[in-house]
Structure 1
Amino acid sequence: MGHHSPSDDKGPTLLILTCLLFSLAFITTVLRCWVRWGSRKIGVDDGLMALTTVLSIGRMAIQIVSVRYGNGKHREFVSDHDYQIINMLTWYTQILLFPTICLMKVSICLLILRIKDTRTLRYILGAVITGLVLTNLECLVVLLAECSPVKAYWNGTYADHCWPAAVRIYSIYLQASYAVATDLICTGLPIYVVWSVSSIPLSTKAAVCGLMSLGLVATVCSAIRAASLGTTTDDLSYAYCIAAIWANTELFLGIIAANLALSRSIYKYFSEHAKKLASNTSGSRASRTPNLRNSLIGPSRMGYVMSPEPSMAFEATYIPHSIQSFASAAPLKPYKNAATFFEMDEIEKGKL
């Protein structure tokens, strides 16, 4: 306390990195769900990834507010009131973090099963998913039960109403350790599954494996996130900001890597739709002129036909001056009985 620099503020770094990574995660998730929905192939894995992205929006919004109160600064540069607000908001972001990470990794496991569904793979991924739910749930339970009342976590009465901070920290160590193991599994399994499917082209296999390898970066971030936590609670506005930076990097890179693994399908979907749109546009232009010409020279227009020539219709009949000539403005009389345009053309040909 007292030996830190006021310029040592990690809040801007948290905001810039979070907004950048979230933008990429949001765009790729929207494209993924759009393509799956348009192709009528949307599944539970897509829904879970969409839910993960929605929860991350709430988490990011809370972090933006916390930086306004001084999150990222050292304790001596933050007022007591703002420090309590930061701790309260940090508690909420942790509540959102663990279910969000769990949903993201369960989505990846289900995506692997959509690529190749075998009995052995179902057992392996079922065990992985069970462990993910349990390890993230225990962190959530510890956070909720750590203090009684809960607001003691941030209102300055922590020592009197809460468990030792080591309980929460070690529960996070357990969760992070299992997260590292599952990251390795969720990165290695897609590579194994994709390479074992003979119908997938070699270039596609290489691209998918390369993109899924981004999950290894998330693995490193998960390990650093756990290592950045300590059992001391005297400078949480700074320490938890650093932990949040690594947690957001882990979360958003995991979402981006999972979505980009489907980038070939996304590209194919939009390229095919672009070709269809171009084909329909050129076809409509090509047919517009003949259709217009036919409508002008054909015997019918808008369900009406021209009256017969006066010389044919009124042969040897006196025509009063009040009746206009065909050349000036001959009236058009409608067909009766609502015939189709094709039928009207045939009728007119018969008459003529």
Structure 2
Amino acid sequence: MESEAYRQASRAPLLQGVMWTMAIVPLVFVLMRLYVRVVMKRVFGWDDFIIIVATGCLIAYAAVCHVAATIGLGRHLTVVLEENPNHVIDVALLCDIGEALAIMACTLGKTSFAVTLLRIVVHRWMIIVLWFVIVTMNLVNVLAALFIFVQCKDPRHLWNSAIPSECWPADVFTHFSLFVGAYSGAQDFVLALLPWTLVWNLQMKKKEKTGIAFAMSLGVFAGAASIVKTTYLVALSEKADFTWELAPLLYWAAVEDGLAITAAAISTLKPLLARVFPGSSINNNYNMISYSTAPNRKVFDNSQGETRTDIGHSSIHERGSQTAILAPLSPKRDETINLTTEVSVTYNRPS
């Protein structure tokens, strides 16, 4: 006989609170990103489209888990069975749908940031690393999302055990999920370290370089959340009390997703911050996010958009430059990113 405390125990309020917090906060930052990109810069790239889809998946994930929590997710299985056995089937189905949405939100959020980095890196090895991350990350995560529903010949058995079906051994999907979780966390740290390598060669004040690199490396917190989430992945094979055991896994997945999307959005907000705080040192930093003004040409906006620097992956040079931002990339080529400053002098002739 369960105690009253056991019957009343519920992780549902915490689950719902974390879910909606980690959905709304990224949504706010993505909306600010879109304001910068569409209204201020008048551009819209693939990374912007990808992050919108990622945010949509995250909001849908929060909604699905919210509904599941209202009918039994986060409470002990025996209690839910006593109240309404059909709710157990509904919770299991909603959890499977939610897990797939969480995987796609996480993958697309990181992919958006990687695509953004692709537009600003100049070293070939960085381009190779980023494409490797994008391809492998999407491959393993799409497989993980598919495997949720193909573990059994009849997928309905996954949420209704009364329907007979042949299924994989329970630990197969758990072990693959542990690999995906660990790999996802490793990719977070790779994407967080690349901006430091890129920015640290800029010839600007160390404080400014640190600020830019830190703003573009916030994905490291998503990596930390991924490590914590991975510790809960064993709950995937927990059938005895899955309505209770799955709750921490689901809300830590939301934390990872939300931090990944927020980190990808923050990296583009410098122009907005410069407008909100016009007298701050933010105006002296360089916006590393490129925008196009002509085919096959990338232009970097630094400061308020009055000074522009052309950049290409093979040859980079600006005539009339006075101050170099980057040192040469190769001793065999004069590959530099340069800053050109136009000065207008007005004077009155003495009468």
TM-superposed deviation, 1:5: 1.8
Deviations 1:114-164 (A, max 9, x none): 232332211111111111012112212311211222111011247743222
| Aligned: 1:255 with 2:276 | no
Deviations 1:153-203 (A, max 9, x none): 0112477432222121111111111111101101111122122233x6544
Opposite residue 61 of structure 1, the aligned amino acid is A
Aligned pairs, number: 271
Distance 2:14 2:208 in 1: 36
Unaligned runs of 5+ in 2: 279-351
- Among 241, 246, 255, the alignment partner of 2:247 is 241
The equivalent residue for 2:200 is 195
TM-superposed deviation, 1:246: 0.6
Distance 1:203 1:36 in 2: 26
Distance 2:263 2:161 in 1: 40
| Aligned: 1:89 with 2:94 | yes
Distance 2:87 2:212 in 1: 46
| Aligned: 1:209 with 2:210 | no
Structure showing greater Rg: 1
The equivalent residue for 2:61 is 59
Unaligned runs of 5+ in 1: 273-352
Distance 2:91 2:129 in 1: 40
Matched-pair contact (CA < 8 Å) for 1:10–1:238: yes
Given the superposition, is the C-alpha separation of residues 220 and 52 from structure 1 closer, same or farther in structure 2, using an over 3 Å criterion? Answer: same
Percent of residue pairs identical: 23
The equivalent residue for 2:312 is none
- Greater strand share, structure number: 2
Q: CA RMSD in A?
A: 2.1
Matched-pair contact (CA < 8 Å) for 1:142–1:168: yes
Distance 1:161 1:196 in 2: 57
Distance 2:152 2:177 in 1: 16
TM-superposed deviation, 1:7: 3.8
Opposite residue 77 of structure 1, the aligned amino acid is V
Matched-pair contact (CA < 8 Å) for 1:98–1:136: yes
Distance 2:72 2:207 in 1: 48
Given the superposition, is the C-alpha separation of residues 75 and 194 from structure 1 closer, same or farther in structure 2, using an over 3 Å criterion? Answer: same
- Among 27, 44, 48, the alignment partner of 1:46 is 48
The equivalent residue for 1:130 is 135
The equivalent residue for 1:186 is 191
5 Å matches for 1:143-162?
143-157=148-162, 160-162=165-167
Deviations 1:235-257 (A, max 9, x none): 11111111011100000011112
The equivalent residue for 1:283 is none
Distance 1:113 1:204 in 2: 22
Q: TM-score, normalised to structure 1's length?
A: 0.72
Given the superposition, is the C-alpha separation of residues 88 and 63 from structure 1 closer, same or farther in structure 2, using an over 3 Å criterion? Answer: same
Distance 2:188 2:31 in 1: 23
Deviations 1:227-277 (A, max 9, x none): 1122331111111111011100000011112222233222235668xxxxx
Opposite residue 221 of structure 1, the aligned amino acid is A
TM-superposed deviation, 1:16: 0.9
- Among 109, 124, 127, the alignment partner of 1:119 is 124
The equivalent residue for 1:68 is 70
Q: Which moved more, 1:91-100 or 1:25-34?
A: 91-100
Opposite residue 61 of structure 2, the aligned amino acid is R
Distance 1:123 1:215 in 2: 20
